[in-house]
Chain A
Amino acid sequence: DSGVTQTPKHLITATGQRVTLRCSPRSGDLSVYWYQQSLDQGLQFLIQYYNGEERAKGNILERFSAQQFPDLHSELNLSSLELGDSALYFCASSAKAGGLSFSYNEQFFGPGTRLTVL
């Protein structure tokens, strides 16, 4: 058990809908990362938050947004869902990143949320 929790485990929804995926990092970890894994695109980094602020952005679509709350949990919002958004969404957390520069400390991954868009 990595200590990172993600809810829900599975989500089935229809095209055009909006969903929210939730991630709780390990206790004390300030950084949260979101990844998407699909058959078509492989594994992709979406976005990173550090202590409530966006730190790095990857291949995140405009229809997707994320935020990290004061209690450090994070939510990934996916809207206007398309069939191609069906994927496994992972969250990871890591300990404090030093200074202003990007510093990828060891990441601990949650079990993922499997999203199916019908």
Chain B
Amino acid sequence: AQKVTQAQTEISVVEKEDVTLDCVYETRDTTYYLFWYKQPPSGELVFLIRRNSFDEQNEISGRYSWNFQKSTSSFNFTITASQVVDSAVYFCALTDNYGQNFVFGPGTRLSVLP
């Protein structure tokens, strides 16, 4: 069965610190997709990134970067120079090539303090 673990339940950092959110996944599929979503205190969900299992290139988008390591089944998310607006719950998710068995991690609550 597919599984996503986000071991960090809550993280607090001070503004401008870098922070990494961990995501470890389990799957027997060779083709799969990984995602990160953000849920700010207002409650809406925001899609951040999708990565397929054949693309191991790390990605950078502004202050956000993602490190995909198939060898350790991890897809970690780093925020550089964090800001108060980054405070949110962040979810990692996994699905197979057909959109079945879509699984979310339990989320990591990030608090960025001024």
Contacts and interface: CB of A to CB of B under 8 A. Distances in A.
A101 B45 contact: no
B93 to A, nearest CB: 8
Contacts of A18: none
A102 B106 contact: no
Given A43-B37, A104-B99, A105-B50, 8 more contacts: A44-B104, A45-B95, A45-B104, A48-B99, A88-B43, A92-B45, A104-B50, A106-B47
Contact of A102 (B46, B95, B103, B104): B95
B44 interface: yes
Contacts, number: 58
Interface of A: 2, 35, 42-45, 48, 55-58, 88, 90, 92, 101-102, 104-109, 111-112
Contacts of B98: 56, 101-102
A45 B94 CA distance: 11
Interface in B85-112: 91, 93, 95-104, 106-107
B33 interface: yes
17 contacts: A42-B104, A42-B106, A44-B104, A45-B93, A45-B104, A48-B99, A56-B98, A57-B100, A58-B101, A92-B45, A101-B97, A102-B95, A102-B98, A104-B99, A105-B50, A106-B50, A108-B47
